[in-house]
């Protein structure tokens, strides 16, 4: 027994133990270095190549969330509260860009306005879908044009009239001069366009999925309509009359 103890405590054995300890420490440090390097690379990759906030995505968030604090005379919220991530897939279109998009491009076009109650119910699901499927939402705020009934709005009606419902907001079917050919852009309104051809339109005003907060079903409608656009299988436009 004493001989074993003597052998185990020789200078050679202690030197070997120190060598083993150094190797263990070196392995631990290397593992920590690799872990740190991996995390740094992941962070840089997300920063430079992952989704990023844009001027348009920030603008969309600001415009829609600005109405969250608006109150009615009785102190209740005037608008449905929305919370929008500044990293989203919204891209604004000017009027000229809108016409070019309808006539030449491919993608999902969204007509809306911040104060539209059904738009505010749609937006969270729509933005989630866009992030999940990496789909850009091309957005045109039509409120000013429609309110003023200006030349731009009338031209939009002319271009998209085939896909729009009859206007029953500024006129009534009981009016003696009722014009069934007078159209209206209702909100929220989406168009699925491929190579300058409108393949389908989707109106979600008062839709049960929005009313009942059925987020996944809303996303499925958008996903099916967009995939129909890309892969040329049938999609049905919603013909429901709207007054939003």
Label each residue of the chain as H, E or C.
CHHHHHHHCCHHHHHHHHHHHHHHHHHHHHHHHHHHHHHHHHHHHHHHHCCCCCHHHHHHHHHHHHHHHCECCCCCECCCCCCCCCCCCEEECCHHHHHHHHHHCCEEEEEECCCCHHHHHHHHHHHHHHHHHCCCEEEEECHHHHHHCCHHHHHHHHHHHHHCCECCCCCCCCCCCCCCCCECCCCCEEEEEECCEEEEEEECCCCHHHHCCCHHHHHHHHHHHHHHHHHCCCCCCCCCCCCC
Grade residue 40 by pLDDT with cuts at 50, 70 and 90. Answer: low
Grade residue 2 by pLDDT with cuts at 50, 70 and 90. Answer: very low
| Higher-confidence position of 1 and 213 | 213
Taking only the tens place, the pLDDT of each residue in 56-89 is: 999 999 999 999 999 999 999 999 999 999 999 9
Q: What is the dihedral of CA 107, 192, 231, 216, to 10 degrees?
A: 100
- pLDDT of 55 strictly over 90: yes
Grade residue 4 by pLDDT with cuts at 50, 70 and 90. Answer: very low
Per-residue exposure over 131-153, b if at least 16 CB sit within 10 Å of its own CB, e if not: eeeebebbbbbbeebbeeeeebb
Can you tell me which residue has the tokens 């995505």? Answer: 57
Average confidence score pLDDT of the chain: 87
Confidence (pLDDT) at 112: 98
* Whole-number percent of the chain with pLDDT over 90: 73
CA atoms within 13 A on the CB side of 141: 14
Torsions phi, psi for 150 (to 5 deg): -80, -175
The whole-angstrom separation of Cα 127 and Cα 150 is: 30
Q: And the tokens for 193?
A: 């366009």
């Amino acid at each position: 027994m004493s001989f074993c103890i003597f052998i185990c405590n020789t200078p050679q054995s202690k030197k070997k133990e120190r060598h083993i300890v150094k190797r263990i420490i070196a392995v631990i440090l290397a593992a920590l270095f690799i872990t740190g390097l991996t995390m740094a690379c992941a962070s840089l990759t997300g920063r430079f190549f992952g989704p990023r906030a844009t001027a348009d995505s920030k603008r969309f968030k600001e415009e829609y969330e600005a109405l969250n604090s608006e109150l009615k005379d009785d102190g209740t919220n005037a608008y449905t509260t929305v919370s929008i991530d500044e990293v989203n897939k919204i891209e604004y279109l000017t009027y000229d860009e809108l016409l070019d998009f309808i006539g030449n491009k491919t993608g999902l076009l969204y007509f809306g306005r911040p104060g539209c109650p059904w738009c505010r119910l749609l937006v969270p699901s729509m933005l989630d879908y866009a992030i999940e499927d990496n789909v850009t939402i091309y957005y045109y705020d039509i409120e000013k044009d429609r309110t003023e009934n200006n030349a731009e709005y009338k031209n939009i009606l002319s271009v998209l009239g085939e896909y729009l419902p009859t206007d029953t907001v500024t006129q009534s079917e009981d009016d003696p001069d009722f014009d069934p050919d007078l159209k209206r852009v209702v909100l929220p309104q989406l168009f699925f366009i491929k190579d300058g051809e409108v393949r389908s339109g989707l109106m979600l005003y008062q839709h049960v999925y929005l009313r009942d907060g059925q987020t996944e079903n809303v996303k499925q409608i958008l996903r099916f309509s967009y995939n129909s656009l890309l892969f040329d299988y049938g999609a049905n436009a919603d013909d429901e009359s709207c007054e939003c």
